[in-house]
Amino acid sequence: MASAAADLAALLSRQIALMGPLSVADYMASCLGHPQFGYYITRDPLGRAGDFTTAPEISQMFGELIGLWAAQCWLQMGSPEKFALVEFGPGRGTLAADALRAVDKVPGFTAAKRLHLVETSPVLRARQAAALADAQPVWHDELSTVPAGPAIFIGNEFLDALPIQQLIRQDGTWFERCIDWDDKAEHFTWCRTAAAPALVDQLPAGGRDGDIAELAPAAAAIAASIADRAIAGPTAALFIDYGYARSTFGDSFQALQNHKPVDPLSAPGQADLTAHVDFAAVARAAGKAQVHGPIDQGAFLLRLGIQQRAARLMAQNPGQSKLIEKAQQRLIGATEMGMLFKALAITSPGLAVPAGFENV
């Protein structure tokens, strides 16, 4: 184990010795966000040299189309003179930079927007500050400090990074899946404890012995807060992530290191930990407001005009045509990101259906 991983493992194993096994949510929160050793706190994990690549890093078209999506929402809100453009987990700031460049010509949008970034990583905040200096962003540790008022929220590959809880069914009973420390073998191991009835009540009906179910309370809390804001005033939110459209059973807790899957318990704080997003659960949590989708990312980007944008870019940069075509395929191809990734929008009741979600 690398030394920072060993430090975090030592800290978590001491915590287990004192207080008992950790929930998956507590383990995930520490591995990703521990103030000293957390994965996102200590590094920029994106890109070829990192652990994973995201859509905005694949092509500028992604951020540009989302910028135009946001501009249309703003027009549908009646072009408020001042509004918050909020991005959750903005990574290197690439999506926001591409979006803002694309909408610069929409009269009034740039002057009306105040850019707010919800980001916990100091390393990535520095990247965002460099990429978005002209837009003078304001950073937040969490949604609660983002000012009230008209707002457009964007979150790409953000919800999958929020802690989940796991339950496992054995002999007809649901147990909470937990993480223990094996002193002899000196590594983390899976265990189970009695599950709180409140958790079991949230599970989909059915299930067989051996099934694993996942709950994402942090993602649900964000969706519910956005719905509250949507009831209070003009609001639109767009979440894009990998996940499934209907709540189901399955173990999607995974770790990536150097673009390869690794055991999530093997190197705490050194690998990206994620879980697939249960879009049906996000929709239920936002149920007070209007929910649109989910729709597959491929279909969504086609509806927003990715082919036209790609054709234009190719005409302007003929030498780059193959790369642009390849990037487009990665974003929309059914066996690439096009179907695994989905888009879901939350808007204020009474607002027009946002672009890309018509008749979904």
Ligand X SMILES: C[S@@+](CC[C@H](N)C(=O)[O-])C[C@H]1O[C@@H](n2cnc3c(N)ncnc32)[C@H](O)[C@@H]1O
**Number of residues lying near ligand X (CB under 6 A):** 21
Q: Which is nearer to ligand X, 4 or 77 (CB)?
A: 4
Q: Which is nearer to ligand X, 124 or 203 (CB)?
A: 124
Q: Is 149 helix (H, G, I), strand (E, B) or coil?
A: coil
**Can you tell me which of 54, 165, 252, 328 binds ligand X, judged by CB under 6 A?**
54
Q: Distances in Å between the alpha carbon of 251 and those of 1, 137, 153, 201, 230?
A: 25, 37, 29, 19, 32
Per the CB < 8 A criterion, the answer to whether 177 and 212 are in contact is: yes
**Can you tell me which of 40, 83, 242, 341 binds ligand X, judged by CB under 6 A?**
40
Alpha-carbon radius of gyration of the chain: 21
167 binds ligand X, rule: CB under 6 A: no
**Can you tell me which of 8, 16, 27, 56 binds ligand X, judged by CB under 6 A?**
56
Number of other CB atoms surrounding residue 78 within 10 Å: 10
**Can you tell me which of 26, 51, 98, 119 binds ligand X, judged by CB under 6 A?**
119
CA atoms of 298 and 296, how far apart (whole Å): 5
| Residue closest to ligand X (Cβ) | 89
252 binds ligand X, rule: CB under 6 A: no
Q: Distances in Å between the alpha carbon of 128 and those of 40, 93, 122, 151, 152?
A: 14, 5, 10, 20, 18
Q: Which is nearer to ligand X, 72 or 120 (CB)?
A: 120
**Can you tell me which of 16, 161, 178, 275 binds ligand X, judged by CB under 6 A?**
161
Per the CB < 8 A criterion, the answer to whether 95 and 128 are in contact is: no
**Can you tell me which of 67, 89, 338, 356 binds ligand X, judged by CB under 6 A?**
89
30 binds ligand X, rule: CB under 6 A: no
Q: Which is nearer to ligand X, 33 or 268 (CB)?
A: 33
CA-nearest of 331, 332, 330, 356 to 344 is 356
Binding positions for ligand X, rule: CB under 6 A: 32-33, 40, 46, 54, 56-57, 89-91, 95, 118-121, 124, 156-158, 161-162
